[in-house]
Amino acid sequence: MRIPPWAAEGGGIDRCGMIGALMERFSDRINELEAVTREIAIDITTGALVERLSPGQIWERAGERVIIVGDLLKELREYLYIMKPEKVPTIQRQVVAINERLDLFKEALERETLNPPESSRRALEELRQALVDISDFLSLCKEARMMPSPVIGAILSLRRGGTSEVASETMAKMEHLAELIRSTQAAYGDISELTSRMGTRLDAVRSEYESLILSFRKKEEN
């Protein structure tokens, strides 16, 4: 997680302008994620016809937008860490769950199989569940936009009021927030590394299992 300049260094009332710009970009990204997930829901996960598409056809229709979703999730996660630092565990949990669904969607489409229709069905189920999870994530984003953490709220109030000086109490809260962001970054860096190692091992076991199943099926056919 990147620490924003206003949290990492000292500075003047420019922080108010920076937070205002951050809020505007945050809101734009929420709208973009909402729009692209709506497109996916309408064009790709709805209707019986989609179930008949091959894995390659599904990726051709959905792949670019799924990649966009991943990029938006990453950016919104960074904003949420700042807007709602007290909810970092919830934010991290939701983003990890969504990314896992999207990875399973892609893996199902790329996997070598003797039953492409089943791969398409599984991929679409993962994508549908990812959309449900993204809806929950968007609710959290909108909550942060409406009710950011007290420190962010104080800075926005200063910006709206045109105040040229930041109260010492607000400055102390900003410094505390910066330290909270740093410590959270370190803690989740360790967790992410452990999760990555576990995921790699599970992927290896699953790959070996699927190879064995495919081998047995080919022997049965011969």
pLDDT, tens digit (0-9, with 9 covering 90-100), for 89-144? 899 999 999 999 999 999 999 988 888 889 999 999 999 999 999 999 999 999 99
User: What tokens appear for 126 in the block?
Assistant: 């993962």
Q: Which positions ≥6 away from 200 have C-beta within 8 Å? A: none
Q: Is 60 left (phi over 0), alpha (psi -120 to 50) or beta?
A: alpha
- What pLDDT shows up at residue 140? 95
User: What tokens appear for 25 in the block?
Assistant: 């970009």
- What pLDDT shows up at residue 66? 95
Q: What is the pTM of this model?
A: 0.66
- What pLDDT shows up at residue 130? 96
Long-range contacts of 129-134 (CB under 8 A, 24+ apart): 129/101, 130/98, 130/101, 130/102, 130/105, 131/37, 131/40, 131/41, 131/45, 133/94, 133/97, 133/98, 133/101, 134/33, 134/37, 134/69, 134/73, 134/98
- What pLDDT shows up at residue 175? 60
Report residues of the chain scoring pLDDT below 50.
1-14, 162-166
Q: What element of type H or E holds 167? A: none
